Amino acid sequence: MSRSPASPARVPVEERLFSLVLALLATENGLTKSEILSTVQGYRQRYEPHGDNSSLERQFERDKDDIRELGVPLETVEAPEASGNNQLLRYRIPKGAYDLPSDVSFSPEELTLLGLAAAVWREGSLSGESRRALMKLRSLGVEADDPVVGYAPRLRVRESAFDPLSQALERRVMVQFPYLKPGESASRQRTVAPLSLVQHQGRWHLQGIDQEAHGSRTFLLSRIVGPVKLTARVFDPDQYRVDGEPFAERALLELERIWESNLAEIEVTAGTDAATRLGKRYGDAVPVGADGQPVRLTVNFSDINILADQLASFGPEVLVLSPPELRAHVLRRLETTLAAHDDSVSPTAAGETHHG
């Protein structure tokens, strides 16, 4: 379907927020809401001089919260002659409060590299940190070296659920998706108010309010097994905010708490693929010894099923010592694999012949 000639081109949210920050930095006395909506990139394209701009005003209210959450010191100043009149409030960002310390400066080359580093992390839960960094760098007024910018790297996410969930976060609408929990044979439809997308230990998670469970839940994106549907149900995320804490930060702290509280002890055979990969992944240096000799590793984990899948993939190179639940999960996977490849071996016999 082609775009109507009267429809303005959509301005990306990052560009709109950046334009708002620059506009508010450039004025000493501040700008009124009307001045912002009629002149700033991302608003002016949809502004109606004598029409209804209520939806645009709501967008601006959300953007104010977003840039404050990004660490931008946005101030409101009342007009002395019209105290209490919100339409005459002026908004500004005190440049001194947003400047870098006087003893810190960057060359064009350094600014380019910092910009590239921030651009790598433009996706998902890290977008807040990256946008804060990019806004700060661009507001310095130092020109970057253009030839390098064309080679900016990007993180790509494999889960197809990532993009629609990002859109739902931006629009503040609830989503529905089929989710398959470990151990269940069929997925279940979930209705969730999304609060943040975070990456932890190399995997993307959605943290939100499960409407059926009436509580906060964390969903692994790789377990969303069908399309994510954006609903028409708009919600206010602030009703779920605790003490003003950013949702992504809270979700990451909870995932890190779970990670640190779950420990497994395993033995790997020195000189094997398991010793190399697991030693690097979990930060333990595997001692160099005679091939075939077992080496013990202590492993943290946040999801017992993911770890069991990984350990089982190494076959006899790994022995799970504890906890018993993880040992049982790995053994079950090995039994299933053996039974699938040898009809003459029963799962019970497979469990007896493998040390697990």
In the chain, the N- to C-terminal Cα span, in Å, equals 57
pLDDT band of residue 113 (cuts 50, 70, 90) is: low
pTM of the shown model: 0.52
Count other C-beta atoms under 10 Å from residue 217's C-beta.
14
Q: Determine the Cα–Cα distance for residues 278 and 283; give it in Å rounded to an integer.
A: 8
Residue with the larger pLDDT of the pair 189 and 295: 189
Q: How far is the C-alpha of 262 from the C-alpha of 203, rounded, in Å?
A: 17
CA angle 80–84–90, rounded 5-degree value: 60
Per DSSP, the three-state class of 92 is: strand
For the chain, what percent of residues have pLDDT higher than 90?
19
Look at residues 159, 254, 247, 164 and name the one whose alpha carbon lies nearest to residue 204.
159
> Which range, 107-111, 153-157, 316-320, has the best average confidence (pLDDT)?
316-320
List CB contacts of 152: < 8 A, sequence separation 6 or more.
Answer: 115, 116, 119, 120
Report residue 25's pLDDT band, with 50, 70 and 90 as the boundaries: confident
Is 46 or 130 the better-scoring residue by pLDDT? Answer: 46
The CATH code that applies to domain 162-242 is 2.30.30
Q: Tell me which DSSP letter residue 224 carries.
A: B
Among residues 183, 173, 98, 170, the alpha carbon closest in space to that of 140 is found at 98
Paired tokens of 213? 């469970």
Dihedrals phi, psi of 139, to nearest 5 degrees: -75, -10
- In the sheet with 318-322, reading across from the earlier edge strand, the strands are 294-300, 263-269, 318-322
Q: What angle do CA 183, 186, 190 make, to 5 degrees?
A: 100
Residue appearing with tokens 């960057």: 106
10 within 8 A of 59, measured Cβ to Cβ: no
Question: Which residues, in sequence order, are CB contacts of 221 under 8 Å at separation 6+?
Answer: 157, 159, 161, 162, 165, 203, 204, 205, 206
Instruction: Give the integer Cα–Cα distance in Å for 193 and 136.
Output: 31
Contact indicator for 199, 218 with CB cutoff of 8 Å: no
Query: Measuring CA to CA, how many Å separate 205 from each of 27, 29, 265, 320?
Result: 40, 42, 26, 27
pLDDT tens digits, one per residue of 289-303:
555 567 888 888 888
Domains of the chain, residue spans: 13-98, 108-149, 162-242, 262-353
Rounded Cα distance between 5 and 8, Å, is 8
Q: How remote is the C-alpha of 172 from its chain's centroid?
A: 15
- Identify the pLDDT of residue 92: 87
Q: Give me the pLDDT at residue 15, please.
A: 78
Which is nearest to 235 in space by CA: 210, 260, 262, 202? 210
Task: List alpha helices for 82-196, DSSP H.
Answer: 95-98, 108-120, 127-138, 146-149, 162-171
The CA distance from 186 to 149, in Å, is 46
